[in-house]
Each structure stands twice: as structure tokens, then as C-alpha cells.
Structure 1
Amino acid sequence: MERNTKIALLAVIVIAIVAVAGLAFSGFGGKQTLKIATTTSLEDTGLLTVLEAAFEKQNPNIDVQFIAAGTGQSLEYGKKGDVDLVMVHSKTQEQKFINESYGTQRNVFAYNYFYIVGPASDPAQINGTNATEAFKQINTTGSANPDQVKFVSRGDNSGTHNREIQIWNKTGADYNTTIQGQKWYIESGKGMGDTLNLANEKTAYTLSDSGTYLAYKGNITLVPFVTQGKDLLNIYSMIPVNPEKFSNVNYNASMKWVDFVLSTEGQNIVGEYGKEKYGQQLFIPLAGQAEPTK
């Protein structure tokens, strides 16, 4: 009798442990959480909202939660195991993240271009130039007339900010000593949408991903001057956080998200997004294709 009682008690304990473990994994109500750190440029365009709705329709047991930050901050979240997946757009930073075993694999899914935008009056006369020539002109004219020519930077270690720094350095200037801190150079420390609004307020130039610019252009007067070229190519990727480094991450849900975005349905959403709302495609699908080089 005593032996049967012990067995029954043990069975109750085992069932309780399994139940608690199930709740811990799936969340109350049977839902799992998928935490994604994403660039503000993807968030500001509204694309993620559409992808999320379609994904959750297929996976009703997964609740997708986005944390919008610059690429640098998004990768930091990944390095701490605070998120399950990152969606970013700075290849050098992404490869470092993977090489240090924080991420498993880089999955490219879309691209567009950065735009150099500014006031229609074009005080630095950059129209018709390329990216490096435009930045060189802004530096020269801004230094000579800081009240008339200004540039607003993200200044937040985002993918856009890192690309901006690369272009400044390519002009022959040293970003840290001859660009940063100048009177004509303003750092917003904010996301892309807020930076565009600040540049508009200051009648300044800025570097923006094309998607966010097109989403915001109806509310600002800034116009695009340089929109193509290798220096302005902007590729987006998804990287699951390494479950071998952080046992708490929801790797299975991450891979379901990756597979969905790379699927025919996901890529159709990416390619069609913006046409109806903004009258123009914001992203070019890239799944299963070689990365463009220019």
C-alpha cells in the first residue's frame, strides 16, 4: 500500500513538472513568443506588420514581438540572448556576429538602395553626382557655409549610419576627426523616420534607406538626389540567434519565420509591399538569388 502511494505521488510530481515545462516553453494559453530585433527602417515602412499578420495566420500558436532599433543595437540584443532573431542590413557587422558564434546563418531576403536626400534648392549642388562626390560636396560647402548647408546623421551605429561613415571615409575625409563634431553635421541619435523628419525641419541633407523615404515622402519636402550605385546598395538579412550559445532562445520559431519570409508567399508580400499604399515598390525580393553587387 505504501509502495503504491509513493508511485502515485511520484506520478503526480512528474506530471506537474511536465506541465510547468510546457507552460514555460509555450507561454500561457499555449502561445510561444518569437522576439525579433529589427532595424527601424524595416519597422518604419510598415512591411513587418504585413509579414507578421500573414505569418501568425499560418502559425497561430506563435506571437511575434518586434523590437525596433538600429542594426548595431539589434545585434547587441542578439549577443545577450535577449531576442530569438535579428533582421538587419550591415553585412560586415552581420558576418562578425556570425563569426563570433552569436548567430547561426545569414539569410538574405530583400534589397533596395540608400538615397541621399535634401532640400529641393540643393545648396550643396549634389544633383547629378554619385555618392562619394555628393558627400564631398556637402563637406566642402557645409564647412564654408554651415548655416546654409547641413547634414543630419542617424549617429546611432545603425546599418545606415555605418554606410554613411563608409562613404565619408571613401571621400578621403576622416570621419572621426573632420566630419563628426562639425557645425554643419548634426547627429539625431534616432531611427530613420525621426531622422528624416529632423532633416526636413533643418532643411538638411541626410542618408535614408529608400523604403523609409518613400513611406515618409508625403509628409516631408526633401527630395532624392542620388539613388543608385554600389555605395548605396542596401541588402537586408535575417539571422537566428545561436541556440548553442543561448539555450533560452526559440530557435524553432525563428526558423519558421525565416522559412516563411523566404517562401513564395513571403517574397510576394515583400515584392508587392508599397505599391498600393505608396504607389511604388519599397523592396526587391532576394530569396534564392545571388546578392546584387551594384
Structure 2
Amino acid sequence: MNFSFAALEKPPVSTIRQNAFNLWSSMKIFHYNLASVSWLILITGNKIVKLSFSAMKYIHRLNEWNEFDILTLPGVFLNVVREKINMVIASTTSIQNSGLFDILIPSYEKSSCNDVKIEVIAVGTGKAIRLAKRGGADLLFVHDPFREEKFIAEGYGINRRVVMHNDFIILGPAEDPAGIRNAGNAEEAFELIAESALPFVSRGDDSGTNIKELDIWDDAGITPKGKGWYFETGGKMGDTLLVANRKMAYSLSDIGTFLNYQSEVDLKSLFQGGSMLKNQYSVIAVNPGRFPGVKYRAAMDFIAFVTSREGQELIAGYVKHGNHLFYPDAVPSIITA
């Protein structure tokens, strides 16, 4: 962290001492981690002056006054100002739909040394990336490794970190008329759906889930667009599940959103597993060299939190309907800890 040192005249010792003891005489003695302190408050009379500083130089200046041991004096007159920061995370809808943000964000905001308020813009991964490319977000939390790496290669993002994974699943009517339960892999399951010409509902919204679905069709050697049995909603995963349910159709979903909507639909998880259906999520800070106004330090602080043991334990412990929705990748040992 960079600091600037503001020249400071020594205030009257009696004023500082009196106000310090009057205001904070009951404060417990503690030591600041100076590497993370960004501001000090100096009490002089009835004025509160916010000072930018070079931490060590400032401490040396105060010690030169020989009036206080500023780290151990009861009623210390130093205090950290919690900077107010509004940070925007552009995220895939699947994390939002799963409810994980309702656990992660309050825990992060509580633990942050700043007064951080996070706004989540939950859209498809493609839209999230395009938003970040315009500088409209401070951080990405998405699930499309290929486009994530391209985003960084083009200079829009830095410091990508893999956070967690779960599975994509193929859903359909309980009776499974296409017989995909017995498929050997995801590509074969899609082949069976196409051969039977049974309805399939796609998000069709350039999301990470949509791109994964198109990759499976491509690997199966099938072009579904334009077929009478293939439908695109252009909407979020939850909306797509509801449409698929009305049509009693097959669809591809992340497991988190499905579990969140399970009580609202009659569709069943018919096929999952295999490397093709692994659903990996990463965070990326938007490059401040390209967009100087982004909250880069707050973004890096959030990245540090979700990849820390504390954040990874929250992810590993998040359960819905008796199922773990995500598995930590930054500290994978937590899964078996």
C-alpha cells in the first residue's frame, strides 16, 4: 500500500493529552498492523483532522515529540478510519440463484477493514464479461475458463484465482423417454435427445452454462439450432428451468440452481458426472491500469477472502436440501478436513 506523508505541526501537548484521555481513556491497549493502516485521526481541541501519511515516518515524528508512546498509551489518540467503498461484482446467475452470496458477502463485509458494500450484478457470464470490459464492474465471479483467460490476455483483467467447482447436470422428465440415464457420457446423452427429437430448452443467452451446452453439442457432432425440438429462452437459469418444466423438456443446468428450484419443477436430474460436466468458478479483478476508477484494492481484498481458509470453509459448508452445492478449489484440503 502506498502512503503520502503530510507535513504536520506539533499540536499543543496538553490539548492532545486531555482530549485523548477524555475520549478514549477506556480503550484497550492494542497494536496496529501498520502495513494495512491507511488513515489516522488526530484530535486537536474540537477538531478531527484526517491525515494521509507514511506510516513509519509519521510514527517517528510523533516519537520525536517525546510526549507519548503512541502504541501503548491508554487512551491512544490514533484510530483507523474505515473507508466507505461500494464495490460491484459482475457474476454468473448460478451463484446468485444458489444463495451462496447470501452467506459469502455478509461474512466478507463484516471481516473487511473497510466499510465495504457490495452490489452483485447477476447476469450470464458473457454479459458479465462485457460489462467488465466497459469498466462497469470491479470484479468478475464467473464460470467460463476459456473466456476468462481471453479476458486477461486482452488486458481487461488481472489476478485470476480459481475458487470452487460443482457440476452441471442434465435434467428431464422423470420417465426419461430419451433414455439418457444409461448414457456413457454427456455427449452420448445429447445424442440420444437429438435422435429422439424430444424437446430441449436452452438458455441461449451466452452464459457460461449456455457455452458449456453448445460445447457438448459440438463434441457430439450435432447442430441443434433451427431444429423443431430445440428452444432458447434467452433468460436466466431459473427462468429456463420453469420453461423446460412446462414443456417437460430436457435441459442443462448447474446443480445449485436446480436444487434451489427443485420444489417448483417436476424435472429430475438424469445425468451428471464426468470431466465435461465439471463447473469451475473463478474470480478476476478488473485491471486498474485499463480502468483507473475501479476498486482494485477492494477487489483484491475480496479475492483474498474467498480463497482464504475462512472463505473456503464457508463455501465447503454451504448445504441445501442435504447437498453440498460447491467444493472449494483454492484450499481443496478443506473438503476432507
The answer to whether residue 209 in structure 2 is matched with residue 160 in structure 1 is yes
Length-normalised TM-score, structure 1: 0.83
Q: Secondary structure at the match of 2:137?
A: coil
Distance (Å, rounded) in 2 between the aligned partners of 1:43 and 1:200:
21
Alignment correspondent of 1:171: 220
Cα offsets for 1:39-96 (capped at 9, x unmatched): 0000000001110110111125111100000110000011000000000001111110
Instruction: Structure 1 unaligned segments of length 5 or more: list them.
Output: 1-18, 20-28, 143-148
Distance (Å, rounded) in 1 between the aligned partners of 2:259 and 2:164:
16
The answer to whether residue 90 in structure 2 is matched with residue 34 in structure 1 is no
Length-normalised TM-score, structure 2: 0.72
Paired residues of 2:312 and 2:331 also in contact (CA < 8 A):
no
Distance (Å, rounded) in 2 between the aligned partners of 1:105 and 1:141:
45
The answer to whether residue 246 in structure 2 is matched with residue 201 in structure 1 is yes
Alignment correspondent of 2:32: none
Distance (Å, rounded) in 2 between the aligned partners of 1:289 and 1:164:
27
Distance (Å, rounded) in 1 between the aligned partners of 2:166 and 2:309:
19
1:123-134 alignment to 2 at 5 Å? 123-129=177-183, 130-134=185-189
Distance (Å, rounded) in 1 between the aligned partners of 2:245 and 2:316:
28
- Size of the aligned set, in residue pairs, is 252
More strand by share: 2
Paired residues of 1:128 and 1:225 also in contact (CA < 8 A):
no
Q: Secondary structure at the match of 2:244?
A: helix
Out of 153, 164, 188, the residue aligned to residue 110 of structure 1 is 164
1:1-294 alignment to 2 at 5 Å? 30-59=83-112, 61-129=115-183, 130-142=185-197, 149-173=198-222, 175=223, 179-274=224-319, 277-288=320-331
Task: State the identity %.
Answer: 44
Deviation for aligned residue 1:30: 5.0
More helix by share: 1
Cα offsets for 1:96-115 (capped at 9, x unmatched): 00000100022111001100
Pick 1 or 2: higher relative contact order, CA cutoff 8 A, min separation 6.
Answer: 1
Paired residues of 1:118 and 1:225 also in contact (CA < 8 A):
yes
Distance (Å, rounded) in 2 between the aligned partners of 1:227 and 1:125:
14
Deviation for aligned residue 1:265: 1.2
Q: RMSD value over aligned CA atoms?
A: 1.7
Deviation for aligned residue 1:170: 0.6
Moved more, 254-263 or 211-220: 211-220
Q: Secondary structure at the match of 1:64?
A: strand
Instruction: Structure 2 unaligned segments of length 5 or more: list them.
Output: 1-49, 51-81
Deviation for aligned residue 1:289: 5.1
Q: Secondary structure at the match of 2:180?
A: coil
Give the residue type in structure 2 aligned to 1:156. Answer: D
Moved more, 201-210 or 57-66: 57-66
Give the residue type in structure 2 aligned to 1:138. Answer: I
Distance (Å, rounded) in 2 between the aligned partners of 1:119 and 1:248:
49
Larger Rg: 2
